[in-house]
Amino acid sequence: REEIELEVRIMPYSADQYLLIARDITQIRKLEKMRKDFVANVSHELRTPLTVIQGYLEILASDPENIAGGLQEKAVKEMSSQSDRMRNLVEQLLSLSRIESQRIDIFEKVVDVPELLHRLQNDAEQLNSEKRHNITFEIAPQKMYGHENELRSAFSNLLSNAIHYTPAGGRIKVSWRAVGQQMEFSVSDNGPGIAADHLPRLTERFYRVDRDRNSRKGGSGLGLAIVKHALERHHCKLSIRSEVDSGSTFSVRVPDNLIVQDQH
Ligand code: ADP
């Protein structure tokens, strides 16, 4: 059994008796730690690009005439890529907080998943222009109840991770298909895969398998946290199957009560 933390108070009860009150504060401590870690992570993620930008600004400011011997072009490029990174992080934080704080009725609107996936397919072609993966889509006609932006954000994060982490020329398969009475959305790739010990922590905020290697690629480590929260709101479960060196499959099971039965 897990260790617990107790807060103990002793109070006088009678002339020679005391009352000992023990309160289990394990959960409170855990939440406190999560909050502190979160703030520390956000600060760290924002400080790194800011430090780079500041460094370049100092060089440029100290040498305004010569423009640092041709450094200007590199400085502008680097500063703009670092500010992109910060903007991306802030946007992801906002979207996470929106998902956590807004109440929605997921049965209020119908999401045309096939249409959403066709749009995703168009976007993927642009994202994929450098990597030249072979990306295939299998799209069943079913629609579902839900929040369109959140579902799009979940599905597109899974696809962009596959594109991002799979080395050029990979194979990626996106599918939306019926499994019995339920539907399943899945993205499979033949990329590097993820070792089993990382899998349980993958959807934690800021968790990355290889921090140093991935941080250079501009990821924030928030993508899968957003996916998980958006899906939880839809009572959908994310499962991850992965094998190192052969690839990963992220799949989302949609319960039957969310599927629009009347397809006219
Ligand atoms: P990031 O912004 O770093 O991509 P995510 O939360 O989206 O953050 O993903 C967390 C980590 O999971 C990534 O840093 C990466 O190590 C791993 N990961 C996610 N998707 C894949 C994939 N398709 N193949 C291999 N590793 C992946």
Alpha carbon of residue 112 to chain centroid: 23
- For 23-72, write each residue's pLDDT tens digit: 999 999 999 998 999 999 999 999 999 999 999 999 888 887 766 677 88
Give residues with Cβ within 8 angstroms of 237, minimum separation 6.
231, 252, 253
**Residue of 92, 194, 241 best suited for mutating to test ligand 1, as the one with most atoms within 8 Å of CB:** 194
Q: pLDDT tens across 72-105, in order?
A: 888 889 999 999 999 999 999 999 999 988 888 8
- The per-residue pLDDT for range 150-175, each reduced to its tens digit, is 999 999 999 999 999 999 999 999 99
Alpha helices in the chain (DSSP H): 26-62, 67-101, 113-127, 148-165, 211-215, 223-233
Residue 216 has pLDDT above 70, yes or no: no
Contact partners, residue 48, CB within 8 Å, separation at least 6: 215
Residue in this structure with the two tokens 């002793």, named with its chain if needed:
10
Q: Give the position, in ligand 1's atom list, of the atom nearest the Cα of 211.
A: 14
The tokens for 144 are 């579902």
Residues with C-beta less than 6 Å from any ligand 1 atom: 161-162, 165, 189, 191-192, 194, 202, 207-210, 214, 219-224, 248
> What is the Cβ-side half-sphere exposure of residue 117, based on CA atoms within 13 angstroms?
22
